[in-house]
Amino acid sequence: MRKFGLTAAIAFSLAAGFLFGAASIHRPIPNAPLELPPARNPWNPKDAMGLMASVGIRTLAGHLQTIPFVVLETDRTFAVTVSATRAHYVLVPKKDIRDISQVSAEDELYLTDIFMVARQLVEKEGLRDYRIYTNGAGRQSVGYLHFHLVGDRESH
């Protein structure tokens, strides 16, 4: 029952964020108390997924490890496993950054934290021959900056 409540809260947060975000995204509010994400095209599926991810991350910050497949969460980053058969993690900053072209000097702590989380996963999983990469805006399936950590586990 608790899992259903969490799932319902996530779905509601994402839907509300999409509706309110899509309505206001092209009308920035001067001196708004809340930092708004950069303008996006709300009807582009990649941007809509990025917007929903942003709202979900902000809403569930600190509770993301209760969601299946979230394996690690810090104040600035969370990591999701996407494969049960090989080591493939997606590392996501808890700040709305669309892609690498939107990174600014203020994002330094978030990017540093992503690499520290990657290090923890590499050590914990005993990864070898691994790589970390991100896709540019034209290659992203979700319009939200994230990094992939992919590698082979050491054989024992």
Q: Tokens 């590499």 map to which residue?
A: 122
Distance CA 103, CA 96 (A): 10
Is the per-residue pLDDT at 64 higher than 90?
no
Q: Tokens 């990094």 map to which residue?
A: 147
**Per-residue pLDDT tens for 98-132?**
888 889 999 999 999 999 999 999 999 999 889 99
Structure-model confidence comparison of residues 82 and 13, the more confident one: 82
* Closest by CA position to 21, among listed 7, 34, 10: 34
Show the tokens assigned to 34. Answer: 């809340």
DSSP state of 104: -
Domains of the chain with CATH codes: 2-153 (3.30.428.10)
pTM of the model: 0.63
34 burial via Cβ count (<10 Å: 0-12, 13-18, 19+): exposed
